[in-house]
Structure 1
Amino acid sequence: MGYRFKIIIVPFLKVSGIALFPFILVNSEKLLNDAVVINHERIHLKQQAELLVIPFYLLYLLNYMVNYAIYRNHNRAYLNIVFEREAYANEADMGYLNRRKWLGWLRYF
């Protein structure tokens, strides 16, 4: 991926994992070895890096809000965030980040 990241265990985290550049937070020690969860979050780190972090969070929130207005459902709104679509579609492909083109998330609009 080109840079190092640190994984931090946060037991009170309400989700399995979250990427907060340059960290990956997971809610349990067992997730340290969950390649799919870690790869999903690594994809988000790449998205954050290429958008210079703050614009990523703004676009993520905006996309969620638009999706929520469309679907009126949190889960559907979340799963249709363009960044999540890319991450979920490729989380099990451990070589994805090596082949991923710059701004690869644009394919998921």
Structure 2
Amino acid sequence: MICITAPKLFKRFSGCAFWPFILIREERLKRDLVFINHERIHLRQQAELLVVPFYIWYATEYLYYLLKGYSKQKAYRSVCFEREAYKFEADFTYLEKRRFWGFLKS
């Protein structure tokens, strides 16, 4: 995991994972263990799907929920990758016990 502060990239959210990087808006987020764990879960998801398919799946699922009439926030929270990351972001041992393609089970 390589954490990079890139404040000009983000206005609407705190950061994101782009394998193998975690890009963050503010330096203080490097010390936010829950936030970093959330992004580390995304890094694992991306590695499992060999990166590019992760982004295709993510975008497709997000658009699906938007077309169903969900708000942008609700569509974002409904994506299977986000459901897993939010569900386990405070469990700091989750990645040690996580099953392969765990996002399908969340």
May I ask how many residue pairs the two structures share in their alignment? Answer: 104
CA distance in 2, matches of 1:9, 1:31: 9
Deviation of 1:72 after TM superposition, in Å, equals: 3.4
CA-based RMSD of the aligned residues comes to 0.8
The residue aligned with 2:105 is: 107
Shift of residue 17, structure 1, vs aligned partner? 1.6
Q: Matched residues in 1 for 2:17 and 2:70: separation? A: 25
3-state SS of the aligned residue for 1:102? coil
Q: Secondary structure at the match of 1:71?
A: coil
Number of the residue aligned with 2:89: 91
Aligned residue for 1:81? 79
Deviations 1:26-72 (A, max 9, x none): 11011010000000000000000000000000000000011111133
Amino acid at match of 1:82: C
- What secondary structure is seen at the aligned counterpart in 1 of 2:68? helix
Q: Which residue of 1 aligns with 2:7?
A: 11
Superposition TM-score, scaled by structure 1 size: 0.92
Any gaps of 5 or more consecutive residues in structure 2? none
1:20 to 18, 21, 24: 18
Identity fraction in percent: 48
Q: For 2:83 and 2:73, locate their aligned partners in 1 and report how far apart those are by CA, in whole Å.
A: 12
Q: Which amino acid aligns with 1:77?
A: A
Q: Show the counterpart of 2:67.
A: 69
Aligned to 1:35: 33
Question: How far, CA to CA, are the matches of 2:70 and 2:93 in structure 1?
Answer: 35
Quick one: distance in 1 between partners of 2:43 and 2:5? 17
The list of structure 1 runs, each at least 4 consecutive aligned residues, that deviate by more than 2 angstroms after superposition, is: none
